[in-house]
Amino acid sequence: AANGKAAILSNATFDLEERLLGHKFGIIDRFDLVVNSARLGIVKPDPAIYHHTLDLLEVAPHEAIFVDDIPVNVEAADALGIHAILFRNEAQAIADIRNIQARANGA
């Protein structure tokens, strides 16, 4: 991620994790961290999984941006003070991320 760290926070099963995130597609290599609920026994929208991810990234909630396509997960992140974006399409998500970054940089 430009000027920051990038993580995947997923409620995937072990099988789905291997198929979607495996090195076969090179997706994992683009992220600093992958947190999978199947490995932790905690699932979104439980606040504990967000806190765990923030701790591993060593960032405060207000320093993080969370994008998800499930409203309850976005609401949970927002309630913790994380900049939360409901994913509708790629262009919208990118625009929302850039707006958050611009506000953080005083633009």
The CATH number assigned to the domain holding 96 equals 3.40.50.1000
Return mean pLDDT, the chain. Answer: 90
Beta strands in 1-107 (DSSP E): 7-10, 33-36, 65-68, 83-86
Contacts with 62 (C-beta within 8 Å, 6 or more apart), sequence order: 81, 82, 83
Residue range(s) defining the domain that contains residue 73: 7-104
Which pTM does this prediction carry?
0.88
Residue 74 has pLDDT above 80, yes or no: yes
21: in domain: yes
Residues 58 and 16: their CA atoms lie apart, in Å, by: 27
Q: Which residues contact 92 (CB under 8 A, 6 or more apart)?
A: none
User: Each residue of 30-66: pLDDT tens digit?
Assistant: 889 889 998 899 999 999 999 999 999 999 999 999 9
Structure token digits, residue 2: 């430009």
Domain total for the chain? Answer: 1
Contacts of 89 (CB under 8 A, 6+ apart): none
- Cα 60 from chain centroid? 13
* Residue 2 domain-assigned (yes or no): no
